[in-house]
Amino acid sequence: MSANEQTILAFETRVRQMILHFKQLKKENEDLLAQIEKGKQDIADLQAKLTQAQNDYNSLKMAKMMQITDGDLEGAKARVTKMIKTVNQCIAILSDEQ
């Protein structure tokens, strides 16, 4: 085998090796791109869950504030009713005295 034939054979071997390495890198790149897409989808899902959780929290907070307000309202109504009874009693006492 001549030197030229050996050089050509070595060149062919190197080209085949480069093609195999390129195919491996291409496959690895595709896998990494798939992982990135999955990660983006996971992030979008988690952001949607976070938004929903924040909305639920705000709704719960609003409901709790309304509950407290309703409780205060009932307490205020009871105090006003008691004051009205007391005022009516005072008026009745004053009316009897005259």
> What is the residue-wise DSSP string for 71-90?
HHHHHHHHHHHHHHHHHHHH
Overall residue count recorded for the chain in this entry: 98
Residue 66 scores a pLDDT above 70: no
Residue 27 scores a pLDDT above 90: yes
Whether 80 maps to a domain, the answer reads no
Helix and strand totals (H; E) in the chain: 1, 0
Whether 42 maps to a domain, the answer reads yes
Residue 32 scores a pLDDT above 90: yes
Q: Measure the CA–CA gap between 35 and 42, rounded to whole angstroms.
A: 10
Residue 52 scores a pLDDT above 70: yes
Q: Measure the CA–CA gap between 43 and 40, rounded to whole angstroms.
A: 5
Whether 92 maps to a domain, the answer reads no
Q: Measure the CA–CA gap between 52 and 63, rounded to whole angstroms.
A: 16
User: Domain count of the chain?
Assistant: 1
Which pLDDT score is estimated for 55?
92
Which pLDDT score is estimated for 7?
93
Whether 26 maps to a domain, the answer reads yes
Whether 76 maps to a domain, the answer reads no
Q: Measure the CA–CA gap between 88 and 51, rounded to whole angstroms.
A: 55
pTM: 0.55
Domain with 55, as residue range(s), is 1-69
Q: What is the mean pLDDT of residues 22-40?
A: 97
Q: What is the mean pLDDT of residues 72-77?
A: 76
Residues 6+ apart with CB under 8 A from 1: 9
